[in-house]
Structure 1
Amino acid sequence: MAIVQLRNDTEGRAYYRRKLAAGKTSMEAMRSLKRRLSNVVYQQMVKDARRMRTGPGGQAGATLQSSAAGSIPTASTSEKPLPGPAATHSRTPLLAAS
């Protein structure tokens, strides 16, 4: 986003040039521009969240509490005994080719 701001005649480009004129290196000026852009994006996200009245999860009605009915469900199948050893089946002997 910062690179695109520098390509065109935008507020970002003017900000970058002001930082260069103030004695910043090109890397420092770029870092400042990126920070400024991230602040603008974050503030817009906060405004949108307030406008839409979203919860902490970013969706309307989201809460930090679980909506599960109970705590950890129990698995009753592990409490049952195993059916016992498997029955052995004798194999049919292979017939010799004649």
Structure 2
Amino acid sequence: MDLHGIGPSSAARLLADTGDIHRFRDRDRFASWNGTAPLDASSGDQQRHRLSRAGNRKINRVLHIMAIVQLRNHTPVRVYYDSRRADGKTSMEALRALKRRLSNVVYARMLLDQRRHEWAGPGGQSGTTLDSSATGSNRHTDTSDKPHPRPDNQINAAPSPTS
């Protein structure tokens, strides 16, 4: 949710649909899966690309919303979009290029978060283990942890078996 334009529901959608980010070999495979990888639609001398209609449409929508939110504000994404428009791209071509770029950003962030999670350990924090301190994983026994013998007067006060 630290990425500009990703809210709680979008982050949940990304995590739920993507699952393990390591299942994608690289960012190109991730872009192909989410439908932001451009498809060649050239004909003759005209070189052009179009947006793929394949892929996960829900994730594609998350990236679209992320792009629109960032375009509304003065962000580096807005500068990128404006430079694409200045290069002669149509607004839809510039938006397609922007969504692909955001797909790369999301992929890199998910990889980083996954590595952080794997490094952190099972408890979610670095240095944690699966051993519970409640089960006595600390094997050093201090003198105060040992049971105390009963006082002598309780030993003598015990009833005798003959009475």
CA distance in 1: counterparts of 2:99 and 2:80, whole angstroms? 11
The count of aligned residue pairs is 55
CA distance in 2: counterparts of 1:32 and 1:5, whole angstroms? 14
Structure of greater Rg? 1
Question: Is 2:68 the partner of 1:3?
Answer: yes
Select the structure with the greater relative contact order (CA < 8 A; seq sep ≥ 6).
2
Which residue of structure 1 lines up, in the alignment, with residue 98 of structure 2?
33
**What does the per-residue CA deviation read over 1:35-74, in whole Å, with 9 as the maximum and x for residues that have no partner?**
11111011000011111118xxxxx6xxxxxxxxxxxxxx
Unaligned runs of 5+ in 2: 1-65, 123-163
Superposed structure 1 runs of 4+ greater than 2 Å apart: none
Question: Is 2:118 the partner of 1:53?
Answer: yes
CA distance in 2: counterparts of 1:8 and 1:36, whole angstroms? 17
CA distance in 1: counterparts of 2:96 and 2:90, whole angstroms? 10
Question: Aligned to 2:81, which of 16, 34, 52?
Answer: 16
TM-score (normalizing by structure 2): 0.32
Identity value in percent: 64
